[in-house]
Amino acid sequence: MSILTAILIAGYIILCAFFFYRRNKEAKKQVSSGFQTEILKRILEQVGASDNPEKCIQAVLDSAGQELKVDRIFIFEDSHDGTYCNTYEWCREGVESKMIEFSFIPYEGFIDKLFAGVSEKTGCAVAKDIKKLHGTNERLEELLTEFKVDNVIASPLEAGGERLGFCGVENVEDASWIDGVSQIIRLLSFYFGQLILQRNNNRTLLQYSYSDLMTGVGNRRAFEQFEVEELNRGGTYGYVMCDINGLKQVNDNRGHEAGDAIIKDVASILSFIFGENRVYRMGGDEFVVFSFVDNEEELRKHIRSVKVMLKHKNISASIGYVFCNNGNIPYREVKIKADKLMYDAKEEYYKGVNDRRIRR
């Protein structure tokens, strides 16, 4: 997060605090101005403490949860499939985490009724007695009873004109604090919404950095990171190289759209057989694949499956592969051998054909 962004967010929070202060004097009486100032101070400290939005979110949850004297403070994000995922939480000591149990449950009915009762005074949905939501969602009611949730405060998370989810707290210790806590949760929701938006932008940029934009598989950068940071070179794995035959002729005769379609088809076939997260497009018409099978015969079966699927698509490709068993072949030799086998296959394909490709 840049300094300018942090300043803008901080200023936005302060303006929100001032706005709510003017509109909600009664709620302010229940939570001291010193308490609110301390919460905002902690938020601003976290903005400047890290440039990682996720770490910042968690740090603020940890701080706010302790100050608000609640059992749990949480963030749920919309999964866009009718469910919400509990992505962040803080729990009071001795309180059991509910992230797994409360995630990916259809919230239809419960959320609708909860947010139908948004308080004009605080801008939050407040259920001072969770039993009043009876009949909205049987599974959620069972979980709320099992985990002894008595009251809930929730505020929508919004950023960039989009509803991202909601944040809130469970079991406010002092019932007389509920309105004041609601006001602070509303302030935090603005802050969390901006951080989640920034986190999502960061993830998109990261995806672009490590993904091939045409096919969606890993790019050369992702390949290099995997072989350096994740590949166990002393383990058992298959290394596969695949190069499309005749792509230049397709581009020349049928246009680059036709050539791009072939590249996408090959990426899709390799991903289907080996898994998308193990396929890398090295550029142009060349792919590298890692396969973590137990033996060479299983690797051969996968290669045969690839060739059958390519044939069904009327696509020709040259493939070279090496199976390394418990590091019995140095990684550098694995790459050299697979590369040679692939180009041997390519020479066989182009026998008698005037191949104008410039080979490496």
CATH number of the domain encompassing residue 264: 3.30.70.270
Does pLDDT of 111 surpass 90?
A: no
Alpha-carbon distances, residue 284 vs 19, 242, 243, 259, 267 (angstroms): 56, 11, 9, 10, 12
Question: Do 205 and 224 fall within a single domain?
Answer: no
Question: Do 227 and 155 fall within a single domain?
Answer: no
Strand partners, 76: 86, 166
Question: Do 254 and 300 fall within a single domain?
Answer: yes
Structure-model confidence comparison of residues 11 and 66, the more confident one: 66
165: number of Cβ within 10 Å: 23
Half-sphere exposure at residue 298, Cβ-oriented, CA atoms within 13 angstroms: 12
Residue 258 resides in a domain: yes
Question: Do 186 and 97 fall within a single domain?
Answer: yes
CATH number of the domain within which 130 lies: 3.30.450.40
Residue 325 resides in a domain: yes
Mean pLDDT computed over every residue of the chain: 83
136-140, 297-301, 306-310, 326-330: least confidently modelled range:
136-140
Candidates 318, 316, 323, 280; CA nearest to 298 is: 323
Does pLDDT of 51 surpass 60?
A: yes
Question: Do 275 and 319 fall within a single domain?
Answer: yes
* Residue 203 pLDDT class (50, 70, 90 cuts): confident
Question: Do 327 and 196 fall within a single domain?
Answer: no
pLDDT at 276: 85
pLDDT at 128: 81
**Residues 184, 147 contacting (CB under 8 angstroms):** no
pLDDT at 6: 55
For the stretch 78-106, pLDDT in tens is 888 878 889 999 999 999 888 888 887 77
Output the CA torsion 321→322→323→324 (10° steps): -150
Count the helix, strand and coil residues of the chain and give each as a percent rounded to the nearest 5: 55, 20, 25
**Residues 345, 316 contacting (CB under 8 angstroms):** no
pLDDT at 44: 61
Question: Do 299 and 231 fall within a single domain?
Answer: yes
Candidates 138, 166, 197, 195; CA nearest to 73 is: 166
Question: Do 30 and 154 fall within a single domain?
Answer: yes
Cα–Cα dist 157/113, whole Å: 17
Cα–Cα dist 360/350, whole Å: 15
Picking from 209, 234, 263, the residue at the C-terminal end of a domain is 209
Beta strand ranges found along 45-136 (DSSP E): 70-78, 83-91, 105-106, 125-127
Domain count, the chain: 2
Residue 335 resides in a domain: yes
Residue 153 resides in a domain: yes
Question: Do 196 and 238 fall within a single domain?
Answer: no
* Residue 127 pLDDT class (50, 70, 90 cuts): confident
pLDDT at 34: 61
Residue 215 resides in a domain: no
Specify the 3-state DSSP secondary structure of 278. Answer: helix
313: number of Cβ within 10 Å: 13
Picking from 209, 243, 272, the residue at the C-terminal end of a domain is 209
* Residue 305 pLDDT class (50, 70, 90 cuts): very high
Cα–Cα dist 13/27, whole Å: 18
Strand partners, 74: 89, 168
Half-sphere exposure at residue 296, Cβ-oriented, CA atoms within 13 angstroms: 6
**Residues 47, 10 contacting (CB under 8 angstroms):** yes
65-69, 83-87, 290-294, 353-357: least confidently modelled range:
353-357
Question: Do 195 and 234 fall within a single domain?
Answer: no
* Residue 326 pLDDT class (50, 70, 90 cuts): very high
pLDDT at 88: 94
Residue 214 resides in a domain: no
Beta strand ranges found along the chain (DSSP E): 70-78, 83-91, 105-106, 125-127, 152-159, 162-172, 237-244, 279-283, 286-291, 317-324
Does pLDDT of 334 surpass 90?
A: yes
pTM above 0.75, yes or no: no
Structural domain including 320 reads: 220-349
Picking from 209, 240, 273, the residue at the C-terminal end of a domain is 209
Percentage of the chain lying above the pLDDT 90 cut? 45
Average pLDDT over every residue of 217-246? 95
Residue 256 resides in a domain: yes
Average pLDDT over every residue of 169-182? 86
Phi, psi of 79 (to 5 degrees): -85, -5
**Residues 2, 48 contacting (CB under 8 angstroms):** no
Does pLDDT of 5 surpass 70?
A: no
pLDDT at 250: 94
Question: Do 262 and 156 fall within a single domain?
Answer: no
pLDDT at 302: 95
Cα–Cα dist 22/248, whole Å: 69
Residue 358 resides in a domain: no
Candidates 20, 46, 79, 86; CA nearest to 191 is: 46
Question: Do 257 and 157 fall within a single domain?
Answer: no
